[in-house]
Structure 1
Amino acid sequence: MFMQLDAPCERVNKDAIDAIVSHLPNEDAILRISNIFHALRSEPRLTIMYLLLEKDMCVCELERALGMTQSAISHNLRTLRQLDLVRVRKDGRFAVYSVADEHVRALLELSRSHVMGCAQ
């Protein structure tokens, strides 16, 4: 994954750096994580995620909250589903979306907390 270079810098402890590198996520995991952050870079998708933190919602409810078309919301939800960030369940004739799991919930909450803490 990374090129091995002989560094002339006296700060470089080859064994320590190699140990750190050995604990990095593999290339597939790095790609998936990168895709998640790329998807959450979209303001509508991130807003959808924060709405779903508060309440499981169908597309109609998201349409009301966001002022977007159902088509645009569905497109964004498809992306979020493909990345396993949201789940969908049927409730009668409605598809109801929710945050996928506690890991996603924690990522969003920590991000919000970080931003709110930096703003002070």
Structure 2
Amino acid sequence: MQDDASCERVDKDAIDAIVSHLPDEDAILRISNIFHALRSKPRLTTLYLLLEKDMCVCELEHALGMTQSAISHNLRTLRQLDLVRVRKDGRFAVYSVADEHVRALLELSRSHVVGCVQ
């Protein structure tokens, strides 16, 4: 780490104010875990499918062309991170995007990529 005195740009008060507003370590770890989970193409694709329609595992199996066990594993990971919800509909478990925060994250990511391509 560079000595603060060697850099004239350092405004310690301003930097300290920024640091004081950072999420705490537990929140940073949770956020990191979310982004790590989203590195998986099948998990991310699952979330984008669920943006369009609440689905059961058999519907996701058809859409993704994956095995039920692989889909269930991915859904378990997404549930543990509070990215998806599950509800019972008769004998089926139906999955949906957990909330508007997740929806916004996915939509912003999509618009960022589309905006960068143009």
Distance between the aligned counterparts of 2:59 and 2:105, measured in 1? 24
The 3-state SS of whatever aligns with 1:18 is helix
Distance between the aligned counterparts of 1:4 and 1:119, measured in 2? 37
TM-score (norm 1): 0.95
- 5+ residue gaps in structure 1? none
Distance between the aligned counterparts of 2:107 and 2:20, measured in 1? 29
Q: Alpha carbons of 1:7 and 1:67: their partners in 2 closer, same or farther (altered >3 Å)?
A: farther
Distance between the aligned counterparts of 2:21 and 2:110, measured in 1? 27
The 3-state SS of whatever aligns with 2:3 is coil
> Are 2:112 and 1:118 equivalent residues in the alignment?
no
Contact 2:55–2:95 (CA<8 Å) still a contact in 1? yes
Q: Alpha carbon RMSD of aligned pairs, Å?
A: 1.4
- The runs of 4+ residues in structure 1 deviating greater than 4 Å are none
The alpha carbon displacement at 1:8 in A equals: 1.8
Q: Alpha carbons of 1:7 and 1:49: their partners in 2 closer, same or farther (altered >3 Å)?
A: farther
- Number of residue pairs aligned between Structure 1 and Structure 2: 118
Distance between the aligned counterparts of 1:40 and 1:86, measured in 2? 12
TM-score (norm 2): 0.97
Q: Alpha carbons of 1:32 and 1:7: their partners in 2 closer, same or farther (altered >3 Å)?
A: farther
Of residues 2, 23, 27, the one that matches 2:25 is 27
The alpha carbon displacement at 1:6 in A equals: 3.0
Name the counterpart of 2:99. Answer: 101
